[in-house]
Structure 1
Amino acid sequence: MNKFKGFTDSETFTQLPDSFFHHLLKEIEDVGELKVTLYFLWRAGQMEGPFRALTRLDFDVKALGLSAEEITRGLEKAVKRGSLLKASLRSAVQEGRKEAKVYFFLNSPRGRAAVQALESGKWDPSHSPSAPPLERPNVFRLYEENIGPLTPLIADTLKDAEALYPAEWIAEAIERAVKNNKRNWKYCEAILKRWKEEGTHGEKTEQDAGKSAERYTKSEFEEYLKRD
């Protein structure tokens, strides 16, 4: 068992229906069913629009710690219990397509309306935005896990960085700092400034990466490269 490091003050929270705790939590005994139900509530909570649906492939194997077969069985049990609903596009069913995509919904007034609209052909989810991508680790957690404790001053600095640079840049800068064993924010910040000023983010070749590293060593990175 991997020991959990604990929750942080910077992470977001997911709302769960009260009925989950009042009714479902004590009834669900299968781990797979419990995991897919909680996962659906989390992913659906990040979606926008009146109808929120997930397909089987939206249930991430790695995030759930389940095999594809276990996820499928968990979904079948959740549908049988009535916590989730499933439906296929009416046109696909009428055409007898074996590969007709199945959509899952929360068994709520909005979910039931979505199923009715889907099965009546009034709504086609394939023309709607797909489920949001999996959440990337936020900057605060990345900092705590790779650089050091999150102080109020550092938290403010990271918030400023989020306003200036894309989240993926910050994540990559922290990754590079770890790789070079230079675990301090000023080093990461220098990388970000260089990328923004010179437009060198995303260099792919080893030659480009080597040139960048050389520039870093000879410029503002030198101070940080010399630190223990």
Structure 2
Amino acid sequence: MTREQNNQLNKGLPFGVKYVPTPAPLFSTYLDKYESLEELKVLLKIIHSLYLKKDFPAFLHYDELISDPAILRIYKNENINEKLIESLSQLEKKGIILLINENENNPRIFLNTEQVRNYIIKEGIEKDFSHNKVDSSLTDFTSENQNPVITTYENNIGYITPIIYENIHNALKEYDEKDILDAIKIATENNVRNWKYIETILQRWTSEGKERGNRNERDGTFRRDSEENRSDEFYKEYVRKQKSKGRK
């Protein structure tokens, strides 16, 4: 760390500092389980690197990690490969990460979450989870006690950032839980995976009704809009709002 960087840290965190979402149990239940300070530092580096990835589920190649300057500093350039492999092995044994060794020299590194495990199974990747399951007593690490909206969003749309968590929390106060789940389903089917689109659907349902009827011109009766037509309308409304904000 340069003297300038150190002086900046001594002044405290700057205004508008960015936050990286991190599973809470890593700083509570797991805090006394880390083998070394280096292991904890490596985990924090992995979480930060995964947060910057655009893949879903996000993963990090071993080569990317070991070539990172932060890793070089953590191990002080001494037996880096051996020490890093040991730290990763310990983190996997604790059930925090998963190592996928399709290429033994350059394995992929994932956080051990439900959506990642589902992805691995779906892709037909051979992985024995019996040795790296999360301790069943660590309930705060799993989504077992989470609201279904949180779990469904994570599994279908993306990671829960602090802003997304707050948006969902506020939505649950305003909308019915089932409506939010249905809106997430529509967003997933239309491959528009962001909260703004989901919010647009909920707002339309609030103003027009979830099961809006249209008059059939042939016999004068009412029928429900097809899901395909409604989905198209939701998307047009979403695009209109984005353009009004100067976004494309």
State whether TM-score is above 0.5. no
Q: TM-score band, normalised by the shorter chain?
A: 0.3 to 0.5
| TM-score normalized by the length of structure 1 | 0.43
User: Higher relative contact order by CA 8 Å / sep ≥ 6: 1 or 2?
Assistant: 1
| TM-score normalized by the length of structure 2 | 0.40
